[in-house]
Structure 1
Amino acid sequence: MNLFCAGYDSLLRTFQYLKVQELLRAARVCKMWRDLAAHPSLWKTVRMKNSQVTDWDGLADTLQRRGTQHLDLRKMLIACESDNIWKKFLTVIPRVSSLLKLELCRCPVSVVEEVIKTCPQLEVFSAMSIKCESLTLESIGNLRRCQELRLKAISGMSLQQDLTPLQDLKHLTHLTSVKELGKKKIDVIQSLTNLETLELGECSDFPDKFGTIVLINLNKLECLRLEKGQGSCCTFDILEGVSKLQNLNQMELVNFDVKNGFDKCLANCKNIKRLLIIPTYISQSATSNNMVLGSVTELSDNLTHFIWGVALELLRVTELFINQFNLMNKQITGDSIPVLKPVPLRLISDENENQKEADDKQQPHQTGLQVDILPLPQLQKLLLTALCKTRVKISKIPFHATWRQSIKPSMKKLNLSKILDCKVFISL
């Protein structure tokens, strides 16, 4: 009996790696395999990756009979007649009343809007590849049990109406937003007092007091992600609000203008433990890098994780700068960034100082240069020396991919046993 139980358990674990079609075929082998293939643990989550559905009615009946709670259609194979497939999908999916989590693959916006109307039991709904430019959330109040809502368009997306309908979702803890939020009654967010994670898209059109009037009311906020803080963005006001949120410990600033005074405002955010910064390098990149270095130095006692995103475009421009001023004689090799002098964290040994003086004698025309060039390995070393308690990472990324960067769960050392009660995402 012990051997039999061990074999049964081994087979059950093996069956977890089978696709739906493979699982159904395995059920025809014998009675024991049929019972194994019907085990509830195997049907709690159904993933259709690299699979094609030819019978939606049969799939829906099977999911309902097995009590499936999570259906993942990401990377599902879709035939050429995709419109007919989605029409059939919308007719059968409401029948799966046991379904609590639904993740869609690339689909039209009409599919998303119809699922919101017909599947009120959903607690998690994700559609990260919507084929549209605009979306209506007028029926979002139908998902009163929704804990996690992730909506993202292939080429960017805006809302047809404002954010007022979100007020009906009282238990939101995670929210990501879309374009032009400043015109969509962004102040509604302050009523979502249960928010634990807030991710915002284009911040440049936010009201001047967004940080100290709206953001400051989110006392449960733990993670904050802001994107496209450019132009007239109220960056300093946002950072002031961040500094007063005691539970906030993770912040991601993606494509943000690092203006004069940025370093002082960020240095006040002593509550931040995990920080991601990807500055925009339109002009004065050396000054921006100087302020980023200066600000993280002030947070050395608090930071546990720091990621600095450097655009590949900046590295190319710096290489041209090096060639223009003939700095290759100073043994500057590899990818480098410019930093305005004096460089924060810079620790020059006697040997390096002597080498610097020798270089200046050989190249007198560079003596008055106000910018220092730091190779990325040297920058990493400086950061590790100053942030001895911090895990430091410098990421080289193309500008068009900056929005994909984030602090990975593995880097955050998340407690996997912690289950978040409510999560909501509405992504760009």
Structure 2
Amino acid sequence: MDNYLQNLSYGYNTLLYVFQYLKVQDLLRAGCVCTMWRDIASHPMLWRTVRMKNSQVHSFEGLANTLKKHGTRHLDLRKMLLPTGGDEIWPEFSRAIERVDMLRRIELCRCPASVVEKLAVSNPQLEVINAVTIKCESMDLESLKALTHIKELRLKSTGGLTLTSNIDSLKDMKCLKHLSLTSIRDLDSMNLNVISEFTNLESLDLGECTDFPKNFGSEILVKLDKLEKLRLEKGQGNCYTFEILEAVKNMAHLEQLELVNFDIKSGFDKALGACQNIKKLLIIPTYISQSATTNHMVLGGVLRLQKTLSHFVWGVTLELLRVTELFVDQCEEPKEKKEKKQVGNGDSIPVLKPVPLLKDKDSEIAPALEPPQVEILALPSLQKLLMQNLPTTRVKILKIPFHATWRQSITDSVN
């Protein structure tokens, strides 16, 4: 009898482990096999988080009833299979999800903004809403006032989002710890001072930073004294990059900084080097013009963080690599060698001479030569240079097309 009970226990735990890999529909089918399988398939551990990846829902009413029965707290719809078009399923979803009152976290897939608006009203108990593939072009934030318990809110449209209300609608979200508002048109015209009231924020992602006001750093960012991660996208033209970096260096808890599609201006190296609190850094420059200067500034700034930096990701666009290869082919190689040249991968970038170096921890980085001279540096050589000068830093150089720059993050790159 002892062996029988022991074997039964082992079999139960083994099946429970295996069932974790089943999709929802397979889990429901498995529960029809026998009483033991039914009990295992209904175990709360298997239903606490439900992921619908590569699955298609034929009845949201049935799904909602099942989620409510098992007390599901986290529903992940990302990469769910949608019928052609997909829009016709969302009214049923909005009606059905209302009864799942135990739900605290939801990740949405490609859906209209109206789904998020209705969800805020029907499920005000939600603590996390992640909607980063919104399909439509406009959204009203007024309904989000009901989300008084929200801790994480991420909104992003696949083609740019226009808000029909100001972000003042979010001001009552006192529990908010993670906020992401990217791809939102005319965000600079909104009342950005509202962000300074989210004093519990630990991470902040903002896009369309080009026309942010000059006081964004000094009067908004610096008030977020619990902020640990900051991501800013599209800081071009008139963006007050130096004022932002001045604020960053004074934020004691801020350790991760991501600058995506930012213009790198003269003096950026010293401004970045002053941010000795930064441990994880992602930089993807715009590379619209003066690429050699841009790379010199990035390299010089990163080397100044030698003592503190633990992770560094440098995004280099494929467009820059192609232009550099074309420059090398046409300008630097004698015509008679072109035919004999071995076909390479063209992975080189221009850097102003002298290439920034740190011979020891107390050495100064030499400024660029006058008049400017350019050195073509192969990416493997750049990687080696960084690893030699940043021996305690995990370094990665990303080669990415421009259209994919928005999808890059430190977490995805170093794991």
Q: CA deviation at 1:91?
A: 1.4
Counterpart in 2 of 1:280?
286
Equivalent AA in structure 1 for residue 298 of structure 2: V
Deviates more, 1:53-62 or 1:161-170: 53-62
Residue of 335, 338, 347 corresponding to 1:335:
347
Matching of residue 60 in structure 1 with residue 64 in structure 2 = yes
Equivalent AA in structure 1 for residue 267 of structure 2: G
Q: How many residues align?
A: 392
Q: Secondary structure at the match of 1:202?
A: coil
Residue of 126, 129, 135 corresponding to 1:125:
129
Residue of 284, 289, 299 corresponding to 1:293:
299
- The within-5 A match list for 1:321-360 is 321-327=327-333, 334-345=346-357
Asked if structure 1 preserves the Cα contact closer than 8 Å seen for 2:313 and 2:413, the reply is no
Larger RCO (CA within 8 A; separation ≥ 6) = 1
Q: CA deviation at 1:205?
A: 0.8
Asked if structure 1 preserves the Cα contact closer than 8 Å seen for 2:358 and 2:389, the reply is no
Counterpart in 1 of 2:407?
404
Deviates more, 1:264-273 or 1:50-59: 50-59
Q: CA deviation at 1:57?
A: 2.2
Counterpart in 2 of 1:376?
379
Asked if structure 1 preserves the Cα contact closer than 8 Å seen for 2:303 and 2:358, the reply is no
The gaps in structure 1 that reach 5 residues or longer are: 348-367, 413-428
Counterpart in 1 of 2:168?
164
Asked if structure 2 preserves the Cα contact closer than 8 Å seen for 1:122 and 1:146, the reply is yes
Q: CA deviation at 1:83?
A: 4.0
Matching of residue 270 in structure 1 with residue 273 in structure 2 = no
Give the distance between the partners of 1:213 and 1:73, measured in 2 at CA.
Answer: 38
Give the distance between the partners of 1:80 and 1:284, measured in 2 at CA.
Answer: 45
Give the distance between the partners of 2:85 and 2:355, measured in 1 at CA.
Answer: 59
The gaps in structure 2 that reach 5 residues or longer are: 360-370
The Cα offsets for residues 6-31 of structure 1, whole Å up to 9 and x where unpaired, read as 11000011111111111111111111
Equivalent AA in structure 2 for residue 370 of structure 1: Q
Give the distance between the partners of 2:217 and 2:386, measured in 1 at CA.
Answer: 29
The Cα offsets for residues 254-309 of structure 1, whole Å up to 9 and x where unpaired, read as 11111111111111101011111111111111111111111111110111111111
Q: Secondary structure at the match of 1:315?
A: helix
Give the distance between the partners of 1:394 and 1:81, measured in 2 at CA.
Answer: 38
CA RMSD of aligned residues (A): 2.0
Q: CA deviation at 1:58?
A: 2.2
Asked if structure 2 preserves the Cα contact closer than 8 Å seen for 1:226 and 1:253, the reply is yes
Give the distance between the partners of 2:83 and 2:203, measured in 1 at CA.
Answer: 37
Matching of residue 113 in structure 1 with residue 117 in structure 2 = yes
The Cα offsets for residues 324-343 of structure 1, whole Å up to 9 and x where unpaired, read as 22347799954100011111
Q: Secondary structure at the match of 1:319?
A: helix
Give the distance between the partners of 2:115 and 2:197, measured in 1 at CA.
Answer: 29
Residue of 21, 28, 42 corresponding to 2:46:
42
Q: CA deviation at 1:191?
A: 1.0
Q: CA deviation at 1:409?
A: 6.2
Q: CA deviation at 1:208?
A: 0.9
Using the aligned pairs only, state the percent identity: 59
Equivalent AA in structure 2 for residue 342 of structure 1: P
Equivalent AA in structure 1 for residue 388 of structure 2: T
Deviates more, 1:79-88 or 1:395-404: 79-88
